[in-house]
């Protein structure tokens, strides 16, 4: 394999390849949430539910993951079940791709790694519950998610419910502004906070019309911008958790984790697990709700960008 030959590293499913070749709407997904998010069998049911939701809204799902040393774009149901029942599969960010692929093993892609795959395949829309961002106290720790760096490298519309709740929304928005990454709320004024409807911060812009949104995304790239375009939409209000309660719990659990010596990539899953336990599993239900709603909206965005969207039941 030459340095520039990447085809042997990737495996694109026949369905995804055919859809891309035909100009059909495709939505990329990550897989780290399957292995390190919800517990089995909710993780499997939710992952398959996301794919069903994307299809129901007119697009083809393209779940990304590393399976037997190949970067798969369009994981099979068998692959997804393997990931859902194997919690020891490591999560893989963009920095980890070389070592994990070389090892011949498995890996659950985070947002940053999934964007690498989407960029390679030419998939223009990606769905996730919450993006990575700038952590609280980043002025001291320099803890900034690789997601934000990958946003500057790939022309992908990222549809999400804001940043994960353990992140600083103000600093995350400031970083995205510095990097020239648009953040647009679809039918919402406030920047969401994953489990919560609002982070207390405003989206820089709001667009209420799907066709206008898809035109804005295409135009952002047509003028020469090379990075991502972030579309936010909040969790359904009836499934949301109060932001004050969640932020207080996160700060408490983060302090406990630091005292216990937890750090690095282990910090986020550790805190999310602790918060889930403290809320008697309510965050799990909220997580499932927001994964399904962002998947539905991402499919609509992909359909609109492919010129195949028709007004009807909106993800909003």
Q: What is the DSSP string of 210-225?
A: HHHHHHHHHHHHHTT-
What DSSP state is assigned to residue 239? G
Catalytic residue among 30, 51, 150, 300: 30
Verify whether residue 164 is a known catalytic residue: yes
The residues, ordered by sequence, that sit 6+ positions from 102 with a Cβ below 8 Å of its Cβ are 69
- Which token pair is 187? 């039918």
What DSSP state is assigned to residue 41? T
d(C-alpha 150, C-alpha 148), whole Å: 5
- Which token pair is 109? 């892609």
Closest residue by Cα to residue 151 from 230, 43, 97, 255: 230
Closest residue by Cα to residue 61 from 108, 116, 128, 154: 128
Q: H helices within the chain, ranges in order?
A: 14-22, 32-36, 42-56, 77-84, 97-103, 111-121, 138-141, 146-151, 169-178, 210-222, 243-259, 267-278, 282-305
3-state secondary structure of 204: coil
Verify whether residue 253 is a known catalytic residue: no
3-state secondary structure of 269: helix
CB of 107 within 8 A of CB of 94? no
Catalytic residue among 51, 91, 150, 164: 164
Closest residue by Cα to residue 228 from 92, 146, 119, 110: 119
Residues identified as active-site: 30, 164
């Amino acid at each position: 394999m030459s340095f520039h030959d990447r085809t042997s590293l990737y495996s694109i499913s026949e369905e995804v390849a055919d859809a891309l070749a035909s100009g059909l709407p495709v939505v990329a997904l990550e897989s780290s949430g399957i292995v390190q998010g919800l517990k089995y069998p909710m993780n499997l049911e939710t992952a398959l539910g996301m794919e069903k939701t994307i299809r129901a809204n007119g697009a083809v799902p393209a779940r990304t993951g590393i399976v037997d040393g190949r970067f798969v774009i369009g994981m099979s149901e068998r692959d997804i079940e393997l990931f859902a029942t194997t919690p020891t599969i490591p999560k893989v960010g963009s920095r980890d791709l070389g070592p994990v692929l070389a090892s011949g093993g498995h890996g659950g892609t985070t947002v940053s790694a999934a964007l690498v795959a989407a960029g390679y395949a030419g998939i223009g829309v990606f769905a996730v519950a919450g993006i990575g961002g700038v952590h609280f106290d980043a002025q001291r720790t320099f803890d900034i998610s690789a997601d934000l760096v990958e946003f500057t490298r790939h022309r992908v519309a990222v549809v999400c419910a804001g940043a994960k709740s353990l992140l600083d929304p103000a600093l995350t928005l400031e970083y995205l502004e510095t990097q020239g990454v648009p953040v647009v709320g679809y039918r919402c004024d406030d920047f969401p906070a994953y489990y919560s409807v609002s982070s207390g911060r405003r989206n820089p812009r709001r667009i209420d019309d799907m066709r206008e949104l898809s035109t804005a995304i295409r135009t952002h790239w047509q003028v020469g911008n090379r990075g991502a375009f972030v579309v936010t939409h909040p969790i359904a209000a009836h499934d949301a958790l109060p932001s004050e309660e969640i932020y207080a719990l996160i700060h408490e659990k983060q302090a406990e984790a630091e005292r216990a010596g937890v750090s690095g990539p282990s910090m986020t899953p550790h805190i999310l697990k602790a918060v889930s336990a403290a809320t008697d599993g309510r965050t799990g239900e909220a997580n499932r709700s927001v994964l399904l709603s962002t998947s539905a909206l991402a499919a609509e965005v992909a359909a609109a960008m492919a010129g195949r969207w028709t007004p009807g039941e909106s993800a909003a």
